[in-house]
């Protein structure tokens, strides 16, 4: 079976610090380079984000409306591949990430997948504990037919995205989660723990008060998107 073309969408706002590592991980893929395109969505960056993306022949898309969900939608709309994969600029995908995605989508009944996330903390034990906890969280949601898709590590068929038409930009937090919830009505969706990425923990503030405030925000957004099935009332700051 011929390998499909994959579009990798990366929303980005002032990511000159993290983007090079993200792009290097994609350059190291076991999947043929001529079989995937990289789309970096510049969401009003004032640094070298676009120039860095151009050095690896990435397609740079500009989205003027500020917010991750708007950048995500813009990138997915521009995707030309049969499969659309999504990750974040502060994330490093595993070497066989695209190859694993390709093999999973050999099953024509599958329309969307999400995978595992490992936080790049200073403690190996903490990273493994959080990864296992996240596995259990995702498995619980999929068992309940409430698929929780993770923005740094997800993929879907472009044909399925055409049915959805667009990312629901009312979900300024959990736009990725909302995609998974709608995809379950289109076809089979899976959590694949072997599909691994390593993400920066920067979105969680280092001080205790800030950390719990952020966790409360994400928990509330999760309840709204998964269980109430309506847009969360909060939104993400441009620098996550």
What local confidence, expressed as pLDDT, does residue 189 receive? 98
What's the Cα-to-Cα distance from 133 to each of 118, 130, 136, 138, 236, rounded to whole Å?
11, 5, 5, 9, 23
For the chain, the first-to-last Cα distance in angstroms comes to 40
What domain count does the chain have?
1
Specify if 237 maps to a domain.
no
Specify if 240 maps to a domain.
no
Specify if 83 maps to a domain.
yes
Secondary structure (DSSP) of 30-97: SS-GGGEEEEEEE-S-SSSHHHHHHTTTPEEEE--S-SHHHHHHHHHHH--SSEEEE--TTEEE-TTH
What local confidence, expressed as pLDDT, does residue 88 receive? 97
What local confidence, expressed as pLDDT, does residue 122 receive? 76
Domain containing 181 equals: 6-228
CATH number, domain with residue 196: 3.90.550.10
Specify if 1 maps to a domain.
no
What local confidence, expressed as pLDDT, does residue 32 receive? 97
What local confidence, expressed as pLDDT, does residue 212 receive? 77
What local confidence, expressed as pLDDT, does residue 41 receive? 98
Specify if 41 maps to a domain.
yes
Specify if 234 maps to a domain.
no
Q: Which run of H or of E encompasses 216? A: helix 208-222
What local confidence, expressed as pLDDT, does residue 64 receive? 98
Specify if 202 maps to a domain.
yes
The token duo for 29 is 């893929």
Q: How far apart are CA 75 and CA 12, in angstroms?
A: 10
Specify if 111 maps to a domain.
yes
* Count of helix runs (H) and strand runs (E) in the chain: 8, 8
What local confidence, expressed as pLDDT, does residue 116 receive? 94
Taking 70 as the pLDDT cut, the residues of the chain under it are 1, 204-210, 236-240
What local confidence, expressed as pLDDT, does residue 207 receive? 59
pTM of the model: 0.94
């Amino acid at each position: 079976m011929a390998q499909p073309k994959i579009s990798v969408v990366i929303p980005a706002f002032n990511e000159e610090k993290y983007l090079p590592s993200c792009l290097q991980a994609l350059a190291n893929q076991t999947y043929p380079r001529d079989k995937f395109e990289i789309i970096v969505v510049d969401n009003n960056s004032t640094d070298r984000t676009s120039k860095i993306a151009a050095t690896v022949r990435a397609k740079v898309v500009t989205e003027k409306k500020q917010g991750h969900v708007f950048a995500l939608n813009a990138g997915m709309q521009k995707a030309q591949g049969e499969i659309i994969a999504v990750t974040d600029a502060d994330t490093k995908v595993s070497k066989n990430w695209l190859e694993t995605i390709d093999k999973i989508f050999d099953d024509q009944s599958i329309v969307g997948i999400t995978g595992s996330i490992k936080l790049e903390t200073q403690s190996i034990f903490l990273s493994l504990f959080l990864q296992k906890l996240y596995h259990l969280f995702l498995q619980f949601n999929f068992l309940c037919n409430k698929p929780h898709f993770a923005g740094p590590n997800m993929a879907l068929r472009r044909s399925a995205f055409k049915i959805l038409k667009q990312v629901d930009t009312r979900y300024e937090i959990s736009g990725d989660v909302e995609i998974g919830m709608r995809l379950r009505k289109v076809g089979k969706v899976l959590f694949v723990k072997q599909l691994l990425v390593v993400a920066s923990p920067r979105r969680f503030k280092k001080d205790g008060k800030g950390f719990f405030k952020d966790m409360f925000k994400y928990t509330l957004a999760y309840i709204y998107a998964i269980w109430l099935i309506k847009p969360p009332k909060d939104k993400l700051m441009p620098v996550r």
